[in-house]
Amino acid sequence: MNETVPGTSDRPGTVASGTSHQPVSSREVRRRFERHQKRRSTLIALTSTLVVVGLLVALIPQTPGWYKVKRSFFDGDVFSETFPRLLEAFVKDVQIFLWCAPCILVWGMVLAVCRSVRTPALFPLRLFAAAYTDVFRGVPVILTILLIGFGVPGLGMDRPWNSPYLWGSVALVLTYSSYVAEVFRAGIESVHESQRAGARSLGLSSGQTLRFVVIPQAVRRVVPPLMNDLVSLQKDVALVSLIGPIEILRQAGIDKSKFANFTPYLGAALIFLALTIPETRFVDHLMARERRRTSGTTIR
């Protein structure tokens, strides 16, 4: 009579636990292999990054002009004195962003819907939306800010209608809504025609189909590229300083002239990075999640 030794298994593909045998599926084996490969890739990436950073730290200070660059861009005393003012000025950038972003999303959606209408009687709306996006996507945002920021107040209107904050914000809304409109339109056109046909077969009108079936799916699909546009908007808010407002970029320029030192620009860059890097990583997370969702992989 053959006896089985406890803790061992005489069948391949099983793991013994006490006196019971637990089969190991090929899926579990694949998961273990993938985890091993991921750990190995992470270790290699970390090692190579440390080597590169170490070389930069060791070699850059050996260059002949390092002392001058350090004094001009990395002055600790200038940084500590100007950084609080830069933070205070950055609040204005955040405020401009917060009132521009909702306007851009709403106006961009209106343009996308106008561009997507199929009723022949509404063709002028399609023509207007197409011309709008062509014009404002073709003109650089900095030029739009200069034209509107200096042109409209030149009409001689009283405050607050000649405020550079107002017209700088209007210029950002006009420009970025053209980009956002194209993102929304791409999402609308990505919805399969069968969705529209199914909605119409249930008795929904064209407007109801667009509102309750097409647009919700379109918005969900374009969230990652939409977030990319909002990250770009957060940076381009600084261009409003060209028409007068003292926000972080203008404040950095004032401090640079005051101390004859470029360290305030470095402080401004660090403040922007502290906000935009988390936003960018969040966009990457959304894009990876969307790829896993569309590929049918379970999100854990």
Q: What is the rounded distance in angstroms from the CA atom of residue 32 to the CA atom of residue 187?
A: 37
CATH fold of 82-295: MetI-like fold (1.10.3720)
Helix (H, G, I), strand (E, B) or coil at 207: helix
The pLDDT of residue 7: 46
Mean pLDDT of 4-22: 48
Domain boundaries, the chain: 15-62, 82-295
Query: Is 249:268 a contact under the CB 8 Å cutoff?
Result: yes
pLDDT tens, 129-176?
999 999 999 999 999 999 998 888 878 777 778 888 899 999 999 999
**pLDDT band at 254; cut points 50, 70, 90:** very high
Its sign, for the CA torsion 102, 105, 111, 114, is: negative
What are the C-alpha distances in Å from 116 to residues 46, 109, 187, 215, 229?
47, 10, 11, 11, 21
Query: Is 125:185 a contact under the CB 8 Å cutoff?
Result: no
Helix (H, G, I), strand (E, B) or coil at 169: helix
Q: What is the rounded distance in angstroms from the CA atom of residue 191 to the CA atom of residue 18?
A: 54
Global pTM value: 0.76
The pLDDT of residue 203: 84
**pLDDT band at 296; cut points 50, 70, 90:** low
Mean pLDDT of 120-126: 88
